[in-house]
Chains A and B, each alone.
Chain A
Amino acid sequence: MKGIAGSKESNDCLITIESSVKRKIEINSIVGVFFYDQILKVVEDTLDEQGLHNVKVIVEDKGALDYTIKSRLLTAIERMREDV
């Protein structure tokens, strides 16, 4: 099961999520030096809200704001759930 959402355009991010034996989050961000912790928090909080623990998430971030990251992640989750 896998879901992808977003883009690698400036101010956006591309998020890939798939099932995994444990939670794993990988963040590659052009603004990681400044915002890594915040991006990680948005991803973790959103996964918690969705009750998802055994997933692997890859965030390829081009400077997206928190609400963009969250909506991309939610869409990726939905797509993953549809992907059977």
Chain B
Amino acid sequence: MLNGVGREVPDNVKAFVKSDDFKNQKRSLIDKKKKQSKTVFFDELKLLFDELNISSKMTLSFHHHLRNGDKVIELVSEEVQRRNLTDMHFAPSSIFPSYKKLGELIKNGNVTDIHTNYLNGEVADLISKGFLQGKLIMNTHGGRARAIESGDLPIDVAFIACPTVDKIGNGHGAIGKSACGTLGYCISDLEYAKKVVLVTDNVIDELKEHQINSEYVDYVLVVDSIGESSGIVSGTTEITKDPIGLKIAKDCANLLDYLGLIKNDFSMQTGAGKTSLAVVKFVEEIMKRNNIVGSFASGGITKAYVDMLEAGLFKNLFDVQCFDLDAVNSFAKNKNHIAMSASEYGNPFEKNPICDKLDFVVLGATEIDLDFNVNVTTDSMGNLIGGSGGHADIAYGADVTIIISPLIKSRIPIIKQKVTTVTTPGTDVDILITERGIAINPLRKDLLDKLKNSPFPIYSIKDLLDLTYKITGVPKQIIPDDKIIGYVEYRDGTIIDCLRKINYESK
């Protein structure tokens, strides 16, 4: 059957209808767990596995706040391998190149099913090639919270890396040698997993403030190290030097200004890439020039936003994960730098999630098609290279969603007739800014009207595609493999697209 973005999906799945269809559905909540006794401390994972009776076919969850420095998922993976447990279901909120052991577990059939929001590196390559025996489900950040709280994604044991834990089992993310800042992505796991284990390398007597409430914590596992700090803070702090990136960023900021979106009390979110940082820099300049004070910036927070908070340019930061050490330190000391859970960030059923309050967001894309559907999940050959993260959540929530990208990346046109994989539906994507022109989604007549006599180079997206083809030539159509290896799940739990095994090896 064809779903709401015209994608063929199997009849036995809940097909995507439209991005606001969740309004026709009711929030479904399983009971939050109630802890029976005091938090118990362990210092050996083996003994904890015995205590929890972790066995084949169970679902284990993890968060990705330690990113490419994470050691917790590797540690648990080693124990799963040692016990030769099979048909396990892993639900890490993201998967990074350092998760090598998980790759082995997939190849050997120890792990057969995965829920995640973003993945790259070896695990992504293996799954693209069809090594995962079950299915890969790709959620959004908000959608993962929804899946957990509704019982769609039941978790047997949540292993929550936690940089500091106190003696009763409260936890904090911004203190300790492996500090990573806010812990927004694990809050649903904490509240709804059947059993919760905090994994830490720093135990102190008492935390005055905590992010993790011991009420939900069954066990604490104390290890030597939960992460490599150099991999934890992996965000870029430099703005782009690439002239194409700078031009796009400048046009983006000027367009936002022209549309009157940079006004007092406005709110924004951007990605953390180098071009996004350039956008932030140019927006900051406009704010200073016009004495604008914004309401908030949200998302993964970087130094750029911390500086703006400290300069009084924003009243608050809402932070689901810190991208660099400046953000970690700011969160630890600044009351106006506020942690948010993935649910508060982007769960469609949350009352007033932060994503819905955003005036505009600036996002990237691997591909965008003539219907403005965006792919950030696979490359043009179908290899898994990322995932929604919060992309679809904030694209839905924000009043104006802007995609910035060069028109061509290594000869590959970013505009397609049809994207390889739909991550974010085109109805939620309003503007595409490239170095050679800007396209407005025809659904946004209001924006087209406002820009009618503007100095910006506005084209139809089809014109931009034709222009691209003049430069690159028309790429040969590729035929996707028949084998479905997983699904892209929209925030409400419906299937927006299928993931297929790759048919071509890149050289």
Which positions in A face B, CB cutoff 8 Å? 10-11, 28-38, 62-66
Alpha-carbon gap, A35 to B381, bound state (A): 13
Give the contacting residue for A34; candidates B409, B471, B475, B507; CB below 8 A.
B475
In the complex, the answer to whether B473 meets A38 with C-beta atoms within 8 Å is yes
Alpha-carbon gap, A33 to B420, bound state (A): 14
Given A29-B507, A32-B507, A34-B380, does the pair A63, B411 have CB atoms closer than 8 Å?
yes
B contact patch SS: loop
CB closest chain-B residue, reference A32: B507
Residues 399-414 of chain B: 1 if any A CB is under 8 Å from the residue's CB, otherwise 0?
0000000001111100
Alpha-carbon gap, A10 to B409, bound state (A): 9
Q: Is B476 an interface residue when CB atoms closer than 8 A count as contact?
A: yes
Alpha-carbon gap, A65 to B473, bound state (A): 9
Given A65-B471, A66-B473, does the pair A31, B411 have CB atoms closer than 8 Å?
yes
Q: Using Cβ atoms and an 8 Å threshold, which residues of chain B touch A65?
A: 408, 411, 471-472
A-B contact pairs, 26 of them (CB 8 A): A11-B411, A29-B507, A30-B507, A31-B411, A31-B412, A33-B381, A33-B476, A33-B504, A33-B506, A34-B380, A34-B411, A34-B412, A34-B475, A34-B478, A35-B411, A35-B475, A36-B476, A37-B476, A38-B473, A62-B410, A63-B409, A63-B411, A63-B412, A64-B411, A65-B411, A66-B473
CB distance from B383 to the nearest CB of A (A): 11
CB closest chain-A residue, reference B477: A34
Which positions in B face A, CB cutoff 8 Å? 380-381, 408-412, 471-473, 475-476, 478, 504, 506-507
Report the 7 A-B pairs with minimum CB-CB distance, sorted nearest first.
A63-B410, A34-B475, A63-B411, A38-B473, A31-B411, A33-B504, A34-B476
Alpha-carbon gap, A35 to B477, bound state (A): 10
Alpha-carbon gap, A33 to B409, bound state (A): 15
CB closest chain-A residue, reference B503: A33
Q: Using Cβ atoms and an 8 Å threshold, which residues of chain A touch B478?
A: 33-34
Q: Using Cβ atoms and an 8 Å threshold, which residues of chain A touch B411?
A: 11, 31, 34-35, 63-65
CB closest chain-B residue, reference A60: B507
In the complex, the answer to whether B410 meets A10 with C-beta atoms within 8 Å is yes
CB closest chain-A residue, reference B408: A65
User: A35-B472, A35-B476 given. 16 additional CB < 8 A pairs?
Assistant: A10-B410, A30-B410, A31-B410, A32-B507, A33-B504, A34-B411, A34-B412, A34-B475, A35-B411, A36-B476, A63-B409, A63-B411, A65-B408, A65-B411, A65-B472, A66-B473
CB closest chain-A residue, reference B412: A31
Q: Using Cβ atoms and an 8 Å threshold, which residues of chain B touch A63?
A: 409-412
Alpha-carbon gap, A10 to B471, bound state (A): 16
CB distance from B314 to the nearest CB of A (A): 35
Q: Using Cβ atoms and an 8 Å threshold, which residues of chain A touch B507?
A: 28-30, 32
Alpha-carbon gap, A66 to B409, bound state (A): 14
CB closest chain-B residue, reference A34: B475
CB distance from B334 to the nearest CB of A (A): 39
Q: Using Cβ atoms and an 8 Å threshold, which residues of chain A touch B412?
A: 31, 34, 63
CB closest chain-B residue, reference A28: B507
CB closest chain-B residue, reference A62: B410
Q: Using Cβ atoms and an 8 Å threshold, which residues of chain B touch A30?
A: 410, 506-507
Q: Using Cβ atoms and an 8 Å threshold, which residues of chain B touch A29?
A: 507
Alpha-carbon gap, A63 to B410, bound state (A): 4
Alpha-carbon gap, A29 to B506, bound state (A): 8
Alpha-carbon gap, A63 to B472, bound state (A): 10
Alpha-carbon gap, A38 to B507, bound state (A): 17
CB distance from A40 to the nearest CB of B (A): 12
Q: Using Cβ atoms and an 8 Å threshold, which residues of chain B touch A10?
A: 410
CB closest chain-B residue, reference A66: B473
- Counting chain A CB atoms within 10 Å of each CB, which of B408, B411, B472 scores highest? B411
In the complex, the answer to whether A11 meets B381 with C-beta atoms within 8 Å is no
Q: Using Cβ atoms and an 8 Å threshold, which residues of chain A touch B475?
A: 31, 34-35
- Counting chain A CB atoms within 10 Å of each CB, which of B408, B410, B475 scores highest? B410
In the complex, the answer to whether A11 meets B473 with C-beta atoms within 8 Å is no
Alpha-carbon gap, A36 to B507, bound state (A): 12
CB distance from A62 to the nearest CB of B (A): 6
Alpha-carbon gap, A64 to B412, bound state (A): 10
Alpha-carbon gap, A62 to B507, bound state (A): 10
Alpha-carbon gap, A82 to B472, bound state (A): 32
Q: Using Cβ atoms and an 8 Å threshold, which residues of chain A touch B473?
A: 35, 38, 66
Q: Using Cβ atoms and an 8 Å threshold, which residues of chain B touch A66?
A: 473
CB distance from A1 to the nearest CB of B (A): 28
In the complex, the answer to whether B504 meets A11 with C-beta atoms within 8 Å is no
CB distance from B348 to the nearest CB of A (A): 36
Alpha-carbon gap, A37 to B473, bound state (A): 11
Alpha-carbon gap, A19 to B219, bound state (A): 71
CB distance from B242 to the nearest CB of A (A): 11
CB closest chain-B residue, reference A64: B411
Q: Using Cβ atoms and an 8 Å threshold, which residues of chain A touch B504?
A: 33
Alpha-carbon gap, A64 to B409, bound state (A): 10
CB distance from B209 to the nearest CB of A (A): 46
